[in-house]
Amino acid sequence: MFIKKLLRYKYFLPWLVFFIAIIPRLINLFGYPYLENDEGAYTSQAWWMVNFGKLAPYTYWYDHAPFGWLTIGFWQKLTAGPLTFGLSLYSTRIFMTLVAGLTNLLIYQLIVYLTKNKKIAFLSCLIYSLSALAITYQRRVLLDNLETFWLMLSLWYFFKAKNRLNFIWLSAIFFGLAFLSKESIVFLLPVMLYGIWLTVSKENRRFSLMIWLVTSLFLILLFPLLAFLKKEFFPASWFGSQSHVSFLETVFYQMGRGTEFKPWQEESSFFINVVSWFKKDFLLLAFGVWSIVVNILLNWKDKNNRIIVLLSLFFLIFLARGGLVLQFYILPLLPLLILNIALTLSLGEKRFKKQIDWLLSLPRFSLVVILLGIAFISEDIAIYTAQPAKKQVEAVVFVKNNLKTDDFIVIDDFCFSDLRLAKGENKAFTNAEWFWKVEQDKEIREDKLANDWRNIDYILLSGEMRRKLLSGELPFLRQAFDNAVLIKDFPSDDLHEGGEVIDLGREGDGWQALFKVEKEAGFEKIISQ
Amino acid sequence: MKLINVLIFTIVIFFGIASFLKLSLMESFIFGLTIILLIQGMLACLAMLYSFLKPENLQEVLPPRILYGGGYFRYSLIVPAKNEEAVIRDTIKAMAKINYPKHLYEVLVVVRNDDLGTIKAVEKEISSLAFAMTDRQEAMTDKVNIRLVKIDGVIANKAYSLNMGWRCAQGDIIAVFDAEDEPHPDILKSVDEIFLQKKVDIVQAGVQLINVSSNWFSCLNCLEYYFWFKSILPFMSKLGATPLGGNTVFFKRKVLVKIRGWDENCLTEDADIGIRASAAGFKTSMIYVEEMATLEEAPADEWQFIRQRTRWDQGYLQIILKGDWLKLGNLKHQFLSFYLLIQPIIHQFSILGMLSIPLISLGLKVPLWLAMFSWLPFYFLLIQFGLYFIGLADLKKYYRLTFSPLLFIYLFIFFVPYQLILAFSSLRAGFRLFLGVFNWEKTEHFNIHRTVVTQ
């Protein structure tokens, strides 16, 4: 009786949906996955933007539009700084968790609107909440999480528009913000336009298309406008001007990354990641892909269904385009798969109403929820138990307690803010620099280090840094590393990822090691294997 | 007084924000101007889009379903004419064809005694119509009462003609039409229904310029009218402002009695009477549908256009200075009316501002965020471009116009020159007002609109 009363309360299910997304992400939030480079980059860029008025601590090179880390920066300002919860990434991971909760809420509302069935919506959101892929990457401080949130908000207004121009306009704004968080969303633009053409009545169609296109394009073009205003749009070589970063050069560079192999080749990043994704979360991906097929074959005539399917397919095209694919690129696709699953369930409910209603009656529904929960949680229990980030934190603490504040330390970006910002008795290491910028940024390498590796005092080696050193991508740093001795090793206790034992030093674990650079020749180096 | 307080408060807040942001004088100017342009752009786009925001909005201005069958009120259609011999005969013909009981409406063509050409044309048409009627041996009740009202007097403007006209009128409802108008045959039936169903005192029906390809600016002029009557007036009406056009407007007699007709010293007597009627508590309703809009023509050349716009802008400035808008009920209505009156004068400057402020920011060394901010009003300009594009397609569809597809491109090419010509007209209006020049600069008509619409 009490449960029935509770279910009748208008906001009970939405709140429940919000918390079932938050709770799995909060458990072991600071332990798993390991603290990654990009997380540190966005965290530091956010704080530098809102606190120091700069686009980034280093030369901003137009890798992404800065709106994503501006959003993160607002959170940092709201919570009295990046170090309020301890490590800087702790704060921003909490923010990402909240974003995940809101995204889940939006998915729920959208499914209720599309299917008119709260149980199907709840089940779908439960799947999303417990998805190992979703949990892993939504814990991380990634622009893709923000992109996904804005995309869901855009779709919410899009589907609810019903010929109302103001909703179409809002949909365009949020789509534009999604792009300004992460550019990959642009692959969905044709589908959105097609969707407007499909769903809006003839009288309002042209206005809707115009408003949506002009609004979203205007927001999208703010990114190149930023470069244009900073006189960094064109490459310096085109006009013989002083060397500077260039928007166009970055665009060409990004488009060319990872194009050595075709997407169907086993060496391609797409292929490698597809295998990895299915290993991590087989249930969601298999069910999701199956739903897409079912929706195409059995429900293509339904306009909303068609749009959801096309959005999913177009995003798959982005992933399989033949360029670089990183593991977390799948993030925006996950809610689209969930939407497909929901539409398939809804279709099934219409065709097998008696059977589905029997299955979804309250006692059996609870059983379904429990079984689903067990199935998804057991897919990758390590996300709740493994703690590869623990040793990373230990390494940072060791540096703070043992090294001098003016030592030049080459670090992984995850701890940039923690070492560079002072808080209370917490010292600031003003010469802690991200390894990638030490290698590439003129201001660091030439101005600060005078192009001499001997000016480096320490290297806080991470798995990713080591991999790049060994692959030859960091020749300048390699010289320092070859002349460095191990001070302290921080091997991760959890050398597991998904239950497999992996090689120490392989990218993907939380291993850290502190090396001191010997300035004189004739030393022996010891590198732990 | 309240309005001034609000203005002062706004200025103080602005300077507070500028100080907080540590802006220099030039930066404060750019920042402030950008905010104004953003507000102006947003309101302008909202007004242009109002009728298309949702289907219900368009329904509000459609003619009502016929419940009473028409033929309740008696109408007096006043047509002031000056040097209109080229067009007046066709206008009278169109008036005679209005689909309404003939004994329930009359047409009064008001002409000055010394305008012999127009008088001759009117008399010729009246007798031609009478002959046609007699020839067909139609009942007396089917004969429209069309009268020529000759006037003289020192003042030679439309307001004076209207005042002379309505004093001779016998109808319950006094309507205003221009000498070149082509009213729809069912206009009186629809207006009659609105008076009966909505219990309003004034009805403003739609007017549409139709000669989109006569010259380089006529397309933009026609589109101005399209959005003005289809969306902007309904928007302002919904907010409680009382915009009135210069023709196809219908007044209950008691309105004119109460506010004593049109102001003969004002160059935009239509806007003025709207303000005064609203201040007196009279209610207005809008009606717009393309098929029923009264058709007119855009001025034939640039100088005609400048004179027309100068007259309008000067008239709006007169009304602002008169201060009748300050007598409106509350602060909201006062602000809206003021905004409506100032729009024709500032709109083109705001568009030029949207184009020039970002360029100024580019040239000066302003903070990056300010430079980005100064580009935001440009968004509303793009929306307006898009709306004009769609509007032109709509006009082509509704009125079955034929023109070169290149007109869609000329629309963009001539957009800025059009704003410049409007800006020049506004400045000219200001100078004329300053110098105390108030003569009526009449627009000539050539019946272009009657040749443009294909049957």
**Bond from prior residue into B234 cis (ω within 30 degrees of 0):** no
Q: Identify the residue among A206, A219, A221, A223 best suited for mutation to test binding to B, counting B beta carbons within 10 A and taking the highest.
A: A206
Residue A252 domain-assigned (yes or no): no
Among A429-438, B2-11, B59-68, name the one with the lowest average pLDDT. B59-68
Give the residue from B42, B375, B388 with the most A CB atoms within 10 Å of its CB, the best one to mutate.
Answer: B375
Give the integer Cα–Cα distance in Å for A99 and A107. Answer: 12
Is 50 exceeded by the pLDDT of residue A501? no
Residue type, A297: L
Residues A491-500 pLDDT 10s: 765 544 443 4
| Residue A333 CB neighbours (<10 A) | 21
Amino acid B260: pLDDT = 92
> What does the block give as tokens for B308?
């027309």
∠ CA(A382), CA(A90), CA(A11), 5° rounding?
Answer: 80
Nearest to B244 by CA among B219, B200, B275, B265: B275
User: Do A61 and A92 belong to one domain?
Assistant: yes
User: How far is residue A138's CA from residue A132's CA, in Å, rounded to a whole number?
Assistant: 10
A333, A352, A384 - which closes a domain: A384
pLDDT tens per residue across span A379-407:
788 889 888 899 899 999 999 999 999 99
Quickly state the pLDDT bin for A520 (edges 50, 70, 90): low
- Domains of chain A: total: 2
Chain A residues with CB under 8 Å of B368 CB are 226, 229-230
Please give the pLDDT value at position A111: 97
Residue B372 to residue A225, Cβ atoms within 8 A: yes
- Using CA atoms, how far residue A354 sits from A299, A332, A349, A358, B424, in Å, is 20, 34, 8, 6, 74
- Are A218 and B379 in contact (CB < 8 Å)? yes
Q: Is the pLDDT of residue A429 over 50?
A: yes
| Nearest of B161, B250, B174, B263 to residue B206 by alpha carbon | B250
Average pLDDT over residues B79-107: 90
A209 shares a domain with A89: yes
The most confident of A36-40, B82-86, B435-439, by mean pLDDT: A36-40
Give the pLDDT band of residue B286 (cuts 50, 70, 90).
confident
**Chain A residues with CB-CB distance to B58 below 8 A:** 203
Amino acid B343: pLDDT: 82
Each residue's pLDDT tens digit, B351-390: 888 888 888 888 888 899 999 999 999 999 999 999 999 9
Please tell me the distance from the alpha carbon of residue A215 to that of residue A168, in angstroms, as a whole number: 10
Q: Could you tell me which residue, A194 or B241, shows the higher pLDDT?
A: A194
In angstroms, the separation between the Cα of residue A60 and the nearest Cα of chain B is: 14
3-state secondary structure of A355: helix
- Cα distances from A215 to residues A375, A392, A528, B383, B388, in angstroms, run 43, 43, 55, 8, 16
Is pLDDT at A524 greater than 60 in this prediction?
Answer: no
pLDDT digits (tens, 9 = 90+) for A306-361: 999 999 999 999 999 888 899 999 999 999 999 999 999 999 988 888 887 777 77
What's the pLDDT band for B350 if we cut at 50, 70, 90?
confident
Alpha helices (H) in B145-287, listed in sequence order: 158-168, 187-198, 218-227, 233-239, 253-259, 269-279
Nearest to A165 among B53, B378, B390 (CB): B53
> Virtual CA dihedral for A397, A399, A402, A405, nearest 10 degrees?
-120
Distance from CA of B69 to the nearest CA of A (A): 29
A245 part of a folded domain: no
Mean pLDDT taken over chain A: 89
- Segment A181-189 shows an average pLDDT of 96
Residues contacting A261, CB < 8 A, separation 6+ = A267, A268, A269, A271, A322
Q: Which residue has the higher pLDDT, A454 or A376?
A: A454
Q: How far apart are CA A170 and CA A168, in angstroms?
A: 5
Say how far residue A288 (Cα) sits from the centre of its chain: 20
Q: Is the pLDDT of residue B297 over 60?
A: yes
User: What pLDDT, on a 0 to 100 scale, did the predictor assign at position B239?
Assistant: 78
Whether residues A214 and B393 touch (CB distance < 8 A) is answered with no
In tens, the pLDDT along A218-238 reads: 999 999 999 999 999 999 888
| pLDDT recorded at residue B243 | 67
Task: For residue A528, give the nearest of A479, A475, A491 by alpha carbon.
Answer: A491
Quick check: B386 and A211 CB within 8 A? yes
How far off is chain A from B391, nearest CA to CA, in Å?
10
Domain-ending residue, one of A359, A384, A409 = A384
Q: pLDDT (tens digit, 9 = 90+) per residue, A104-148? A: 999 999 999 999 999 899 999 999 999 999 999 999 999 999 999
pLDDT of residue B246: 80
Q: Cα(B293)–Cα(B205) distance, rounded to whole angstroms?
A: 7
pLDDT at B5: 84
Shared domain for A418 and A460, answered yes or no, is: yes
Pick the residue of B21, B52, B62, B373 with the most A CBs within 10 A to test the interface with A by mutation: B52
**A334 or B7: whose pLDDT is higher?**
A334
C-alpha B396/C-alpha A206 separation (Å) is 15
When pLDDT is averaged across residues B418-444 and rounded to a whole number, the result is 85
Angle between helices B2-20 and B25-53 in degrees, nearest 10: 120
A251 belongs to a structural domain: no
Q: Using the beta-carbon criterion (under 8 Å), do B393 and A222 form an inter-chain contact?
A: no
Lookup: tokens for B85: 């011999």
Integer angstrom CA distances of residue A164 from A158, A196, A212, A427, B290: 10, 11, 12, 55, 22
B57 CA: distance to closest CA in chain A (Å): 10
Give residue B135's pLDDT: 54
pLDDT at A375: 83
* Domain housing A440: 389-517
The distance from CA A364 to its chain's CA centroid, rounded to whole angstroms, is 36
The Cα–Cα gap between A49 and B336 comes to 40
Q: What is the DSSP letter of B228?
A: I
- A250 within a domain of the structure (yes/no): no
Segment A286-304, tens digit of pLDDT? 999 999 999 999 999 999 9
Quick check: B368 and A207 CB within 8 A?
no
Cα B141 to its chain centre, rounded Å, is 35
CA distance B283 to chain A (A): 28
Residue A325 lies in a domain: yes
A507 and A398, same structural domain?
yes
- Read off the pLDDT of residues B110-125 as tens digits, 9 standing for 90 and up: 999 989 999 999 999 8
Question: In the listed set A384, A416, A437, which residue is the last one of a domain according to the structure?
Answer: A384
Please check the confidence at residue B138 and state whether its pLDDT lies above 70: no
- Cα(first)–Cα(last) distance of chain A, in Å? 62
- State whether A405 and A326 are in the same domain: no
Q: How far apart are CA A358 and CA B354, in angstroms?
A: 62
Asked whether residue A407 falls in the same domain as residue A308, the answer is no
Lowest-confidence segment of A27-31, A370-374, B350-354 by average pLDDT: A370-374
Q: What is the pTM of this model?
A: 0.89
Q: Indicate yes or no: CB of B52 within 8 angstroms of CB of A204.
A: yes
Judgement on whether residues A192 and A66 belong to the same structural domain of the protein: yes
Candidate ranges A148-157, A415-424, B94-103, B438-447; pick with highest mean pLDDT: A148-157
Q: What whole-number distance in Å separates Cα of residue A111 and Cα of residue A105?
A: 10
Better-predicted residue by pLDDT, B333 or A413 = A413
pLDDT at A23 (0 to 100): 94
- Rounded distance between C-alpha atoms, residue A377 and residue A387, angstroms: 17
Q: Can you list the alpha helix ranges (DSSP code H) found in B364-435?
A: 368-374, 377-399, 407-413, 415-435
At residue A367, the pLDDT reads 82
Q: Which of A203-217, B199-213, B319-333, B408-422 has the lowest mean pLDDT?
A: B319-333
Q: Are residues A510 and A361 in the same domain?
A: no
- Of the two residues A490 and A247, the one the predictor is more confident about is A247
Residues A359 and A501 in one domain: no
- Give how far B41 is from chain A: nearest CA, Å: 14
Structure confidence at residue A48 (pLDDT): 95
Both A337 and A406 in one domain: the answer is no
**What does the alpha-carbon distance between residue A220 and residue A150 come to, in Å, rounded to a whole number?**
14
**Contacts of residue B46 in chain A, CB cutoff 8 Å?**
none
Question: Quick check: is A114 in a domain?
Answer: yes
Averaged pLDDT for residues B426-437: 87
CA A269/CA A57 separation, integer angstroms: 30
Task: Give yes or no for residue B102 having a pLDDT over 50.
Answer: yes
pLDDT above 80 for A502: no
Burial class (CB in 10 A: 0-12, 13-18, 19+), A464: buried
Residue A49, token pair as written in the block: 């933007």
Q: φ, ψ for residue B243 (rounded to 5)?
A: -80, 140
Chain A residues closer than 8 Å to B382 by CB: 214, 218
For residue A225, give the chain B residue with the closest CA. Answer: B372
pLDDT at A189: 97
pLDDT the model gives residue A525: 45
Q: Do residues A178 and A194 lie in contact, with contact meaning Cβ atoms separated by under 8 Å?
A: no
Q: Is residue A524 part of a domain?
A: no
Which range among A325-329, A461-465, B162-166 shows the weakest confidence by mean pLDDT?
A461-465
Q: Are residues A479 and A455 in the same domain?
A: yes
Q: Compute the nearest-CA separation of B448 from chain A (Å).
A: 29
- Judged by CB atoms closer than 8 Å, whether chains meet at A210 and B390 is answered as yes
Set of chain A residues whose Cβ sits within 8 Å of the Cβ of B54: 163-166
Q: What is the pLDDT of residue A527?
A: 46
Tokens standing for residue B388: 């004009």
Indicate if the pLDDT at residue A503 is higher than 50: no
Q: Is residue A239 part of a domain?
A: no
**Could you tell me if A341 and A409 lie in one domain?**
no
Task: Give the tens place of pLDDT for each residue, B222-235.
Answer: 999 999 989 988 88
Closest by alpha carbon to A489, among A417, A395, A374, A353? A395
Nearest residue of B to residue A215, measured between CA atoms:
B379
Flag the least confident range among A68-72, A162-166, A421-425, B67-71.
B67-71
Which pLDDT does position A480 carry in this prediction? 92
Does the structure show a pLDDT above 80 at A3? no
List C-alpha distances in Å: B208 to B98, B219, B233: 18, 12, 13
Helix axes A118-130, A88-115, angle to 10 degrees: 150
User: Average pLDDT in the A181-210 region?
Assistant: 94
